[in-house]
Amino acid sequence: MRRRRTGAARRWAAVGGGVAVLLALPSLIGALPASDAGTPAADLRRAALASTGVAFTGYAQAAGGLALPVGEQLTGVADLLSDRTTMRTWYRGVGDWRVDVVTPTGETGVHADAGGTWTWDYVAGAATRTPDTALALPTAPDLLPSELGRRLLSEAGDAELSRFGADRVAGRDALGLRVVPAEEAASVGRVDVWVDAASGLPLRVQVFGHSGGEPAVDSSFLEVELTTPPAEIVDFAVPPAATIREGQDPQLLQAATRGTRGGLALPAVLAGLERRRIEGAPATVGVYGRGATLLTVSALPGRASAGLRSALAGAPDAVVDELGVRIAAGPLGLMLADGPDGTVLLSGTVTLDALAAAATELAGGAP
């Protein structure tokens, strides 16, 4: 009897061990070394840009390391770039997706359709409609590695691209693709994108300043499945008792339009960066540069600039001179410039020297 019990115990131990191995398989597979397919950098970028048609469901986190002292109108952007953002996402295609931002106090769902987005605040019972606009402040869905990776790769030249091996991201083989911006004004030292070897979907994105160290932005899928989510999960219908609000972006654009007394004259080139053509953008808002090197210039009303000026001037490393006040938070620069017709806000992934040069040019002086 003792032998029988011992034999049975061994068999059950073997079964238990087998079950343990089966349960551990997902994590073991995720820990396996990635296979580098040797795909050239230019081909890998093309695959990433073509991945807009790849449907998926996923769970992602984005961590921002940028401490931004800003006024109340930009508080949401500051929080987004300085905190950890946890997101669940369902993506059926361009303009047909849902991203739920998960916080300790609840969830906020962003649903995209052909005309823009609905943002549903579960706790407040409020639905905010934001139409597609020429210019928009960044939101949590913009930090998804799939979206962020494609945007940062979209305008990189072949000479700025290189490969750097492979890794396992969300249990999938991901090939490393690096962008080193060529512009002299660039404050971003490099962008590292891990691209799914099978589908081209960007799975992780890290943005570094010139000083290296920890990434200013680190966005990664923790889980991802390349399956098409049901339409009913993505679609949104405003609940009958919901409070309906207007998105903030149209309000800020309207403020920029009336921000200066005589109108802000924007040149074709600023700080060595060419102005972009953006259909529907106000004449007093200009975007310069490409890819990871962008500079945005807009007029700012006195009421909106007062709080922001105080916040910027109070930052430890703020530069205050005859041009105005400017700061750098990692690779992101912010400046309030004092122009002849009012206050101008300059912001973007450019150096403080580039901000000063742009302010000088706007004031009519030599760069």
Choose from 14-18, 249-253, 329-333 the range with maximum mean pLDDT.
329-333
Measured over the CA atoms of residue 117, residue 123, residue 124 and residue 125, the dihedral's sign is positive
Which residue, among 251, 236, 252, has the nearest Cα to 99 in the 3D structure?
Answer: 236
Q: Are 326 and 344 within 8 A, CB to CB?
A: no
What DSSP line would sit under 293-342, residue for residue? EEEEEEEE-HHHHHHHHHHHHTSTT-EEETTEEEEEETTEEEEEEEETTE
Structure confidence at residue 252 (pLDDT): 54
C-alpha separations of 40 from 44, 180, 189, 291 in Å = 6, 16, 21, 20
Read off the pLDDT band of 316 (50, 70, 90): confident
What DSSP line would sit under 86-97, residue for residue? EEEEEEEETTEE
C-alpha separations of 213 from 65, 208, 291, 296 in Å = 11, 8, 22, 26
What are 169's strand-pairing partners? Answer: 172
Task: Indicate whether 12 pLDDT > 70.
Answer: no
Structure confidence at residue 28 (pLDDT): 43
What is the mean pLDDT of the segment spanning 6-20?
Answer: 47
Structure confidence at residue 25 (pLDDT): 44
Structure confidence at residue 277 (pLDDT): 87
Q: Give the integer Cα–Cα distance in Å for 22 and 16.
A: 10
Task: Indicate whether 87 pLDDT > 90.
Answer: yes
What is the mean pLDDT of the segment spanning 249-267?
Answer: 60
Q: Give the integer Cα–Cα distance in Å for 233 and 111.
A: 10
**Pick the residue with more confidence: 259 or 110?**
110
What is the mean pLDDT of the segment spanning 171-193?
Answer: 97
C-alpha separations of 261 from 177, 296, 297, 300, 343 in Å = 46, 20, 16, 10, 10
C-alpha separations of 50 from 44, 60, 120, 203 in Å = 10, 21, 30, 14
Average pLDDT of the residues of the chain: 83
What is the mean pLDDT of the segment spanning 187-198?
Answer: 97
**227 DSSP 8-state letter:** -
Q: Are 343 and 336 within 8 A, CB to CB?
A: yes
What DSSP line would sit under 25-36, residue for residue? HHHHHHHSPPP-
What is the mean pLDDT of the segment spanning 210-224?
Answer: 92
Task: Indicate whether 253 pLDDT > 50.
Answer: yes
Task: Indicate whether 304 pLDDT > 60.
Answer: yes
Here the tokens at position 199 are 């589908």
What is the mean pLDDT of the segment spanning 162-191?
Answer: 96
Q: Are 78 and 70 within 8 A, CB to CB?
A: yes
Structure confidence at residue 79 (pLDDT): 56
What is the mean pLDDT of the segment spanning 133-159?
Answer: 89
Which residue, among 317, 271, 312, 315, has the nearest Cα to 294 in the 3D structure?
Answer: 271
Q: Give the integer Cα–Cα distance in Å for 256 and 262.
A: 13
Structure confidence at residue 182 (pLDDT): 96
* 217, amino acid identity: V
Task: Indicate whether 260 pLDDT > 50.
Answer: no
| CATH hierarchy code of domain 41-244 | 2.50.20.10
Task: Indicate whether 240 pLDDT > 60.
Answer: yes
Structure confidence at residue 289 (pLDDT): 96
Average the pLDDT over each of 183-192, 194-203, 207-216 and give the range with the smallest value.
Answer: 207-216
**Pick the residue with more confidence: 363 or 7?**
363
Domain definitions of the chain by residue range? 41-244, 247-362
E strand intervals along 42-151:
56-64, 84-93, 96-103, 106-113, 116-121, 126-131
